[in-house]
Amino acid sequence: MESTAAVAAFAALAQETRLAAFRRLIEAGPNGLAAGDVAAACAASAPTMSFHLKELARAGLIRSRKNGRQVIYAVDFRGVRALIDFLMRDCCKGDPVFCGDYLGEGAGGKTAALADAT
């Protein structure tokens, strides 16, 4: 991930409603939620939530798919992983004393399994 993409992702998350929607979609997992369910969970109107979900999608943090007349949104775990990797890339020069086993998780830990689910 390049710096400009990371800045876009952080900017998308730097808004209370978008952060709440993103967190709700993280909880929902790979199957995601209908846009109306996300709006209800965040106490936002449908048009407002539509705007916020599009911003998160534009930042590469979520994706959408049609299911009949509904639009289902789910976290793009590859995009989230890229953002986390961007942050951790230079973590204490890879010293496990400070980074824990984060750097080893990408090879097959829970985070990698979630990324493969999308």
Mean pLDDT, rounded, of the chain: 84
pLDDT value of residue 27: 95
> Do the beta carbons of residue 30 and residue 114 sit within 8 Å?
yes
pLDDT value of residue 87: 84
For residue 101, is pLDDT > 80?
no
| Segment 87-113 mean pLDDT | 61
Q: Tell me the one-letter amino acid at 118.
A: T
pLDDT digits (tens, 9 = 90+) for 4-52: 999 999 999 999 999 999 999 999 999 999 999 999 999 999 999 999 9
pLDDT value of residue 115: 44
In terms of pLDDT, which residue wins out, 95 or 102? 95
pTM above 0.85, yes or no: no
1-118 CATH: 1.10.10.10
Rounded to the nearest 5 degrees, what angle is found at the Cα of 16, between the Cα atoms of 63 and 34? 35
In terms of pLDDT, which residue wins out, 100 or 2? 2
Domain boundaries, the chain: 1-118
pLDDT value of residue 85: 84
116 sits in which H/E element:
helix 110-116
Chain CA centroid to CA 13, Å: 9
Copy the structure tokens of residue 114.
Answer: 């979630």
| Pairwise CA distance, residues 68 & 88, whole Å | 39
| Pairwise CA distance, residues 27 & 33, whole Å | 10
Copy the structure tokens of residue 29.
Answer: 């997992």
Pick from 102, 63, 103, 66: nearest CA to 79: 63
For residue 114, is pLDDT > 80?
no
